[in-house]
Amino acid sequence: MNKVNALATGTRTGKKGEVKFNEMIETAQKDKGRGSGWAKNDCRQALIEASRYQFQNVVAPALRISIDDLTKSLNLKILKQLFKKNEIRVSAGYDTITQKIFTTEDSRKKIVEYLLELEEKGEQSISVQNLFDAIEQLNLHTDRITDRNWRDFLDCKKIDRDIFRVFCSILNINYDDVADIPPEPQGKDLTKETRLVEVLTTFNHGTQKNTVCAKAAHKDAPKAFLVVNPCSYSRTWMLRRIEYEIKIVSQRGVEIEQFLSSSNFLPLSIEDLKSLFKKKFVNLKLINEKLQKKYLFFIVNIDNYDLVELKNLVEKFWKPILNQVNPQNPGKILLFLVSSGQGNNWQTEWQNISILAESIVELPPAKPDVNDLSEIIPRVAMRLNIQLAEDLTVFSQQLLNESQGSTQKLLQLFYKKFECKPTQLNQQWQNYP
């Protein structure tokens, strides 16, 4: 399991000696109110909030429970069977290693007994909201949401990274701002799969990366980029390649902020966007401080936006942010509007709206050819310490023919040809970041 701890910014003497703490975490904890269940030794409310967050963002999607409509009815019989098993098999929502639903056997029994009681009363279903309420009232904690992990989090001790992210989320603080992230291991310590990803990240996308760099460098050029592609693998590859280029050229880091809707069917309102922005960046000073050290990538999925909503996003959310940011900052904010392009009315109309045409540049999908593959294949072989036996042009043409224009198939072929385990392929390439 990947573990991480908070970066200690101070120490104090406790009953068991010197105790570390992080000032940002401590301030957020105080804002929540230590006397109301957010303390180190009385963390009942913190665990409730963390369990709710993990259930909504990890467990529910993995169990295919939609949380978009809290009044929606869930079948008690099916729900009871899922909770009896107390396991999930897919990652969902963010970097997660969760495999269980509830931490303890006692929690599992309590929820099953509760659902059984409803069945005995003649009920056949329960609403999503009532299920959430029951989990809280029964004081059930989801996987690894424990008082021990909470204390270790506050004391800057290592805990599982996905649980660290949950605690950061409920305190409304940014993971990257408080995590003590160790330096990247040297190449010899990396897996073949990781080394393959590293090399493929440098591949192709010349037009796209050059466009982004040119616009980022010009003070009056658009800083919003439209990425339309039904293939999520292709979108991820392009964004990862652009991120790599920005890091290399600017010699600065890149912080990625996603603005996600709680609904799969509704776009984020302007109020939602502003609220999320305020949570991520408390004030203008903070965002300008970040831009002294790094670039910021804002990612917004616009699949559910119509033309008016897209115009409002740019006019009432994006433009005001740019107007507040100091243009002399070494780092820049870049907005990436991503979409699968499934019949949105803005697709054919956005360039006719002046504020959109002035603010957005579309990045076309990349279409690798034999020459592109002939360039990257030797680099992959060198990184993996493999001697190529095939003729390079023949090998490249073979990959191109077998992939049939599919980015997913091309990636699968790279993993297969270079004997890399495909188990993490989807996780590594289907979503960005």
Tens digit of each residue's pLDDT (9 = 90 or more) over 85-131: 888 754 433 444 557 888 888 989 999 999 999 999 999 999 988 99
The domain segmentation of the chain, as residue ranges, is 3-178, 205-362, 370-429
Per-residue model confidence (pLDDT) at position 94: 41
Fill in the amino acid letter for 36.
S
β-pair partners for 100: 87
Contact call for residues 260 and 304 (beta carbons, < 8 A): no
Q: Which strands form 224-228's sheet, in the order they lie side by side? A: 253-259, 294-301, 333-339, 224-228, 360-362
Contact call for residues 202 and 241 (beta carbons, < 8 A): yes
pLDDT digits (tens, 9 = 90+) for 385-411: 898 888 999 999 999 999 999 999 999
Instruction: Burial-class residue 217 by CB neighbours within 10 Å (0-12, 13-18, 19+).
Output: exposed
CATH of domain 205-362: 3.40.50
For residues 231-242, one letter each, b for 16 or more C-beta atoms within 10 angstroms of the residue's C-beta and e for the rest, the string is: ebbbbbbbbbbb
Fill in the amino acid letter for 413.
L
CB neighbours of residue 169 within 10 Å? 18
Residue owning tokens 């600065």: 252
Full-model pTM: 0.60
Overall average pLDDT of the 244-261 stretch: 90
Overall average pLDDT of the 21-36 stretch: 86
pLDDT digits (tens, 9 = 90+) for 360-374: 999 999 999 999 999
Contact call for residues 310 and 301 (beta carbons, < 8 A): no
Half-sphere exposure of 10 (CA within 13 A, CB side): 11
For residues 106-117, one letter each, b for 16 or more C-beta atoms within 10 angstroms of the residue's C-beta and e for the rest, the string is: ebbebbbebbee
β-pair partners for 339: 228
